[in-house]
Chains A and B, each alone.
Chain A
Amino acid sequence: MHSPQPDLEARTSDDWPAELYRILKAADVRQMSYVPDAGHSQLIRLLSADRDVTTNVLTTEEEGIAIAAGAWLGGQRSVLLMQSSGVGNCINMLSLSAIGRFPLLMLVTMRGEWAEFNPWQVPMSRATQPSLEAIGLKVMRAETADDLVETVESAAALAYESDQQIAVLIGQRLIGKKKW
């Protein structure tokens, strides 16, 4: 029986978290740690349900930087999910990734930059990219679902194959307005 092929454009636009899950699995990511963000909720669910991936919920984002370094020492690849407010918590711990040249892939959902309701998100939003770059990370950004999928695929290769420290910023425009 012939089953209809889903339209590629619609699939990637609607379901980018599933695409990111596929990319992270293809990159052999075995650990994921996170401080939750609504924009990451589907990816968190997918990775948490995967028995081949160990997940850690964190009390603060910098814990995930240390866990990722430990995972690499032990031969595993780790990914870290957070929202932009969490980047500020990470800065000193990122010394570890930078000076040890530990592979690092952070996926950061942006707040405070597009149709934001909560003004308290704005200052750290503004500081996110400059502070990451100041401590030595490479920052990549995506504003559309298609671009995001391609960017994360490239970032994963740079991180895990070329020992780079990468933060992918996921534009708030892409995630959509938070409903209050």
Chain B
Amino acid sequence: MQAQLDRRAAVAALLKNRKDTLVVSGLGSPTYDLHSVGDHDGNFYLWGAMGGAALIGLGLAQAQPGKRVLALTGDGEQLMGLGGIATIGVARPHNLDIVVIDNQHFGETGMQASHTGRGVDLTAIAAACGFIATGMLRTIAEVERLAAQLAEPGEGPRLFVIKVLAENPPRSLPSRDAVFIKNRFRAHLGFAAG
């Protein structure tokens, strides 16, 4: 089935009422998507470290058990960190959710087809690794329901895949200075810059 959903509309709906959710975005389009809905001190944007978004989310969720943490990433980024899904499943954080914006392609490098359009199902992998909730979404109404669902605490990690159109909307570029973004993020949580 051909996806019809616009990725920016999906991310905007997902984060419309984010409140104090902390968000880590994966390399490539998810970082632009996150920035496009409004820069935020509680955002940590990746410009590299491919495969690391969900695991940065894990370390953060473990350090901040009272806060909701969202790893917002793409299919290619999450595929590079498949083992991390097993690690997160074992760790069982109650405050970490992974949302994969899945266009079934490596969008940053010329739209080469990825595994997720060829039968690899990240939700099934997450379920097999012990995630307590998983799902695949294709409409904006489903994304709006997911946003409401994620606002309620879970009892373990959750992973959702949002199937979107394979297209590159205009880039929305956050700062590439990781030290600045790190210190801003920590200050947002009340920690000194050091």
Binding site for B on A (CB under 8 A): 30-31, 54, 56-60, 62-63, 65-76, 78, 92-93, 95-96, 99-102, 163
Complex partner residue of A95 from B48, B64, B182, CB under 8 angstroms: B48
- Chain B residues with CB under 8 A of A67: 55-56, 58-59, 62
CA distance A32 to B32 in the complex (A): 32
Enumerate chain A residues within 8 angstroms of B179, measured Cβ to Cβ: 99-101
Interface residues in B38-96 by Cβ distance below 8 A to A read: 44, 46, 48-53, 55-64, 67, 81, 83-84, 86-87, 90-91
Having A66-B56, A73-B182, A95-B48, one finds 10 other A-B pairs with CB under 8 Å, namely: A56-B58, A57-B90, A60-B83, A66-B49, A70-B58, A70-B59, A73-B63, A92-B48, A92-B49, A96-B46
Task: For the complex formed, measure the closest distance between the CB of A20 and the CB atoms of chain B, giving whole angstroms.
Answer: 21
User: Which residues between 96 and 121 of chain B lie within 8 Å of chain A, taking CB atoms?
Assistant: none
B60 and A70 contacting across the interface, CB-CB below 8 Å: yes
How many chain B residues touch A (CB < 8 A): the figure is 38
Q: Assess the A73–B84 pair: CB atoms within 8 A.
A: no
Q: Which of B44, B50, B61, B63 contacts A75 (CB 8 A)?
A: B63
Residues of B within 8 A of A66 (CB): 49, 51-53, 55-56, 58-59, 81, 84
A96 touches B48 (CB 8 A): yes
Q: Which residues of B contact A (CB under 8 A)?
A: 22, 24, 44, 46, 48-53, 55-64, 67, 81, 83-84, 86-87, 90-91, 178-179, 181-182, 185-186, 189-191, 194
Which residues from A are CB-within-8-Å of B91?
A: 54, 56
Could you tell me the distance in whole angstroms from the C-beta of B159 to the nearest C-beta in chain A? 16
Residue of B nearest to A69 (CB): B56
Residues of A within 8 A of B181 (CB): 100
Asked if A74 meets B64 with Cβ closer than 8 Å, knowing A66-B55, A67-B55, A93-B49, the reply is yes
Q: Knowing A63-B81, A101-B179 touch, does A75 contact B55 (C-beta < 8 A)?
A: no
A92 to B97, CA, bound (A): 24
Q: Does A101 contact B55, Cβ atoms closer than 8 Å?
A: no
State the Cβ distance, B45 to closest chain A Cβ, in Å.
11
Partner of A73, one of B56, B86, B194: B56
Query: In the assembly, what is the distance between CA of A163 and CA of B46, in Å?
Result: 19
**Shortest Cβ distance from residue B81 to the other chain A in the assembled complex, whole angstroms:** 7
Which residues of A sit under 8 angstroms from B86, Cβ to Cβ? 59
Give Cα A66–Cα B50 distance, bound, in whole angstroms: 10
Query: Would you list the 6 A-B pairs with minimal beta carbon distance, nearest first?
Result: A70-B59, A74-B63, A59-B83, A66-B52, A66-B55, A100-B178
Q: Which of B51, B63, B84 contacts A31 (CB 8 A)?
A: B63
CA gap between A57 and B49 in the complex, in Å: 20
Q: Are B51 and A62 in contact (CB under 8 A)?
A: yes
* Cβ A31 vs Cβ B59 within 8 A: yes
A135 to chain B, nearest CB (A): 12
The docked-state distance in angstroms from the alpha carbon of A79 to that of B87 is 16
**A63 and B191 in contact, given A74-B62, A75-B63 (Cβ under 8 angstroms):** no
Select the residue from B55, B181, B191, B194 with max chain A CB neighbours within 10 A.
B55
With a CB–CB cut-off of 8 A, which chain A residues contact B81? 63, 66
